[in-house]
Amino acid sequence: MQIILKTKVEKDVNTVFDAFDLELFKKLKPPGIGLKVLRFDGCKTGDKVELELNFGLFKQKWKSVITDSGADEHGFYFIDEAYGKDLPFFLSHWKHRHIIAKEGEETVITDHINFKSPWGLSFLFYPAVWLQMAMRKPVYQKTFKKESDQRQ
């Protein structure tokens, strides 16, 4: 299944990319899910992220690797991927391309996700995954608001 969400923000591309760190990662945590960060190397090729997700009645591990990253005249990107036993039971494959790009006078953050669930049940989990990713939009917009707007 594929999900593509775009969020316009008010800060410049470099400022936004530089803020993709552990602090922002924690802010982007879906509500209702406990999160323990076991490892967070960063957003460059070869970096690893290891998490323990607490769903209340059970906990699940998540391990992903940044398989590619780069920059061009439009902005930056990085891709995190995970497979099989390194994901919660309802996912068998995860590929998330993060794109921070200048589009005209604006900066746009694109979350481009491809995921699969075991047993061909991706369609059942699509609404929950979409909702959790869509909840990032207000976090991005608040985090990357112009300073004059944040003081109000």
Kindly state whether residue 72 falls inside one of the protein's structural domains.
yes
Kindly state whether residue 39 falls inside one of the protein's structural domains.
yes
CA triple 34-15-77, angle to 5 deg: 70
Kindly state whether residue 59 falls inside one of the protein's structural domains.
yes
DSSP designation for 28? T
SS3 content of the chain, % helix, strand, coil (to 5): 30, 45, 30
For residue 85, give the amino acid letter.
K
pLDDT in tens, 58-104: 999 999 999 999 999 999 999 999 998 899 999 999 999 999 999 98
Kindly state whether residue 20 falls inside one of the protein's structural domains.
yes
Query: Which whole number is the average pLDDT over 9-19?
Result: 96
Please tell me the total count of domains within the chain: 1
Residue-range definition of the domain harbouring residue 61: 2-145
pLDDT for the residue 105: 84
Kindly state whether residue 151 falls inside one of the protein's structural domains.
no
Q: How far apart are CA 88 and CA 129, in angstroms?
A: 12
What's the pTM?
A: 0.92
Contact 1, 124 (CB under 8 A): no
The domain that holds 48 is classified in CATH as 3.30.530.20
Pairing between β-strand 75-83 and β-strand 93-103 as defined by DSSP bridges: antiparallel
Kindly state whether residue 9 falls inside one of the protein's structural domains.
yes
User: Which secondary-structure segment (H or E) carries 79?
Assistant: strand 75-83
Contact 149, 38 (CB under 8 A): no
Kindly state whether residue 152 falls inside one of the protein's structural domains.
no
